[in-house]
Amino acid sequence: MTQKIRVLIKRILYYFLNTSEEKNNVLLSGFSRGLQNVAFAGQNAVPDRCNFSGNIKIGYATTLGVNNFMHGNISIGKYCQFGADVAIHTTNHPIHYLSSYINKNLFSGELKKLKENKEIFIGNDVWIGHNALIIGGVTIGNGAIIAAGTVVTKNVEPYSIVAGVPSKVIKKRFTNEVIQEIEKLEWWHKTPEELDKIKPLFFKNFNNIKSIYEE
């Protein structure tokens, strides 16, 4: 087989493997594993090379990035966006025992039952950047932003921007008063008709304001 033919075959396979299809109101592109482990709320997008295991819930209109990895009991809210290579792990090797080894080569894998398993909750309208890692047992509040490359090891307050290894709060996106108003508004639970009525709020700059309703 000549080099040109091999290249042509690869291009054809790549084209068909990455063709998008809509299934149960979820846009699927490329090849992902473990989709049966996810309960999608609809209007979701799953690109190529995502991997799911455990018990995962993904809220309405939340879209994922290429090569996202989710393992364990995970609950994700509505209108979230994930960058590429985001990983979410709810489990961890045992660290308070003689060994952290859980492979079948030792005691036929019996030590697996010693693994830690802590749920992860991600709120609504959360933006998670490229190559972020989220560790089990954390809750990420509504409207939070997780910077690229961040390792999240503790809870993230609503509308906070966090970055670093481990994650640290860089700043709050808005004043506490504005955050309280947004949390009370809960726009992510509204119908399309209700959202149309408050559409101007989405185009308003909330920097240095005291209320989202001020003129």
Mean pLDDT of the chain: 93
pLDDT of res. 215: 79
Q: Which residues pair with 163 in a beta bridge?
A: 168
Does 38 share its domain with 128? yes
b/e per residue, 35-66, with b = 16+ CB within 10 A? beebebbeebbbbbbbebebebbbbbbbebbb
Both 148 and 104 in one domain: the answer is yes
How would DSSP label each residue in 84-130? Answer: TT-EEE-EE---SSS----STTTGGGGGGGG-EE--EEE-SS-EE-T
What is the domain range of residue 197?
175-215
103-106-109 Cα angle (round to 5): 50
Residue 167 and residue 164: Cα distance in Å, rounded?
5
Cis peptide bond prior to 166, omega within 30° of 0: yes
Q: What is the CATH number of the domain that holds 20?
A: 2.160.10.10
Residues 110 and 193 in one domain: no
Per-residue confidence (pLDDT) for residue 10, from 0 to 100: 62
Task: Using the predicted structure, report yes or no on whether residue 182 has a pLDDT greater than 80.
Answer: yes
Q: Give the pLDDT score at 73.
A: 97
Q: pTM (2 decimals)?
A: 0.89
**Identified catalytic residue from 89, 93, 96, 189:** 93
Residues 182, 141, single domain; the answer is no
Structure tokens at 106: 């030792």
Integer CA distances (angstroms), 60 to 25, 130, 199, in order: 10, 21, 18
Residue 30: pLDDT over 90: no
> Would you say residue 49 has pLDDT above 80?
yes
Kindly state whether residues 8 and 102 are assigned to the same domain. Answer: yes
Residue 59 has pLDDT above 70, yes or no: yes
- Whether 167 and 201 share a structural domain: no
Structural domains counted in the chain: 2
Average pLDDT over residues 128-148: 98
Q: What is the pLDDT of residues 73-122, one digit of tens each?
A: 999 999 999 999 999 999 989 989 999 999 999 999 999 999 989 999 99
Q: What confidence score (pLDDT) does residue 195 get? A: 98
Summarize pLDDT for 6-27 with one digit per residue, the tens: 766 666 655 556 666 777 899 9
Note the pLDDT tens digit of each residue in 145-154. 999 999 999 9
Residues 179 and 169 in one domain: no
For residues 168 and 181, state if they share a domain. Answer: no
Q: Are residues 14 and 91 in the same domain?
A: yes
Looking at the fold, whether 49 and 96 belong to one and the same domain comes out as yes
Do 140 and 204 belong together in one domain?
Answer: no
For the segment 162-182, the average pLDDT, to the nearest whole number, is 97
Q: Quick check: is 189 catalytic?
A: no
Same domain, 43 and 23: yes
Give me Rg for the CA atoms of the chain: 21
